[in-house]
Amino acid sequence: TRTLRIGLIPGDGIGREVIPAGRRVLEALPLSTKLQFTFVDLDAGFDTFKRTGTALPDKTVETLNKECDGALFGAVSSPTVKTAGYSSPIVALRKRLSLYANVRPVKTVAAARSPVDLVIVRENTEDLYVKEERTMETAHGRVAEAIKRISERASLNIARVAGDLALRRQRVRDTGAPSIHKRPLVTITHKSNVLSQTDGLFREAARKALADAKFQAVSVEEQIVDSMVYKLFRQPADYDVIVAPNLYGDILSDGAAALVGSLGLVPSANVGDGFAIGEPCHGSAPDIEGRGIANPIATLRSAALMLEFLGEEEAAAKIYAAVDANLVEGRLLSPDMGGTATTEAVVEDVLKRL
């Protein structure tokens, strides 16, 4: 039996409603998975900021670093007006824990009219998100500029994550799981026709990483990011694993979430070496906060994704299957999916199917 210690960071708004749901599903994993969990509750977010003056207390980072094997992060609210001293805790966590990959699977369940089963692997530490900006006064008015930093090292790393994921997805298919894909494919996304040095380096490094003998079974294609958007929306079934630098990955993955109908379904994981934080893609949803109707499925899938990256593929598969069964039956759906079920009712249904 393996015991995993999981940090729970609900954050703000519906984060406080969906993270407990994630905990319950982990606790209910059948004994056959030989997994046990202990949990530690941790603070972060805008309410924490208002209470303590910091959105990400050091204690949260230290506990994750020293005691935890993984974590679940709910959502945080950002202040609508610029607030001195506030900065996003999840962006800081990604940096402080070296979570260099952001992984977002987007998938329809069986019988969808336009099937989608893809994963976007986004580089999580550099590109324009190094936030090195400056504004200059010139004779013609103000000019602002930003550094777009691409390193060979981070690009090699992220491409390996994508290659590993493509192989893992193929292993799952080889066990007979139904899928729209027959072979592993990684699509490298960039704009090196214009940005020949930065995106050129990303492309070259990704190609190099995926040329390794380990990835021999993986087909590798490239797509310029603007035509990628077009094709992704026209023919989503053509894509298996998509790897992209930070900014393109951010935009593509929010867009791809639209392919499956509700933000409440789409999970993500922030992944580093030996550590993963599961995080639903949605925000704190102040419009439905406190009503007990938030869709918990993005969080349940994020918990499964975290387990996958902690090496617990079998346990993850059980959660995915239970969630998919709930969706396929379609009897207990939350309001964002056109149903009337509460968060509680959806969780109970998924628990029964575990």
Shortest distance (Å) from residue 250 CB to Mn ion: 4
Binding mask 17-56 for ligand NAD (x = CB under 6 A): ----------------------------------------
For residues 253-272, which are near Mn ion according to CB under 5 A?
254
Q: Which of 19, 35, 76, 346 binds ligand NAD (CB under 6 A)?
A: 76
Residue 46 exposed, middle or buried by CB count within 10 Å (0-12, 13-18, 19+): buried
Q: Which does 179 bind (CB under 5 to 8 A by kind): ligand NAD, Mn ion, none?
A: none
Q: Indicate the pairing of strand 70-75 with strand 241-244.
A: unpaired
Candidate ranges 54-62, 111-119, 150-158, 288-296; the one touching ligand NAD (CB under 6 A):
288-296
Cα-flanking dihedrals φ and ψ of residue 351, to 5°? -60, -45
* 201, 116, 335, 326 alpha-carbon torsion, rounded to 10°: -120
Q: Which of 64, 298, 315, 332 binds ligand NAD (CB under 6 A)?
A: 298
Shortest distance (Å) from residue 50 CB to ligand NAD: 13
The token pair at 336 is 């964002």
Considering beta carbons, is residue 203 or 282 the nearer one to ligand NAD? 282
CA-to-CA separations, 115 to 105, 154, 231, 233, 254, in angstroms, rounded: 13, 32, 14, 12, 18
Shortest distance (Å) from residue 52 CB to ligand NAD: 18
Residue 235 exposed, middle or buried by CB count within 10 Å (0-12, 13-18, 19+): exposed
308 near Mn ion (CB under 5 A)? no
Q: Which of 60, 77, 125, 246 binds ligand NAD (CB under 6 A)?
A: 77
Candidate ranges 139-147, 162-170, 229-237, 285-293; the one touching ligand NAD (CB under 6 A):
285-293
Residue type, 61: V
Q: Which does 199 bind (CB under 5 to 8 A by kind): ligand NAD, Mn ion, none?
A: none
Q: What is the largest CA-CA distance in the chain?
A: 71
| DSSP-assigned states of every residue in 247-307 | HHHHHHHHHHHGGGS-GGG---EEEETTEEEE--SS---TTTTTSS----HHHHHHHHHHH
Residue type, 132: E
Residues 6+ apart with CB under 8 A from 298: 18, 263, 264, 265, 266, 267, 280, 281, 282
Binding mask 217-256 for ligand NAD (x = CB under 6 A): ----------------------------------------
Count interface residues toward Mn ion (CB under 5 A): 2
288 near ligand NAD (CB under 6 A)? yes
For residues 85-104, which are near ligand NAD according to CB under 6 A?
90
Candidate ranges 24-32, 236-244, 283-291, 300-308; the one touching ligand NAD (CB under 6 A):
283-291
| DSSP-assigned states of every residue in 16-60 | HHHHHHHHHHHHTS-GGG-EEEEEEE---SHHHHHHHS-SS-HHH
Q: Which does 250 bind (CB under 5 to 8 A by kind): Mn ion, ligand NAD, none?
A: Mn ion
Q: Which residue is nearest to ligand NAD (CB)?
A: 283
The candidate with the shortest Cα–Cα distance to 106, out of 254, 250, 221, is: 254
Calculate the CA 76 to chain-centre distance.
Answer: 15
250 near Mn ion (CB under 5 A)? yes
Binding mask 332-351 for ligand NAD (x = CB under 6 A): --x-x---------------
Binding site for ligand NAD (CB under 6 A): 14, 75-78, 90, 263-264, 282-288, 294-295, 298, 334, 336
Binding site for Mn ion (CB under 5 A): 250, 254
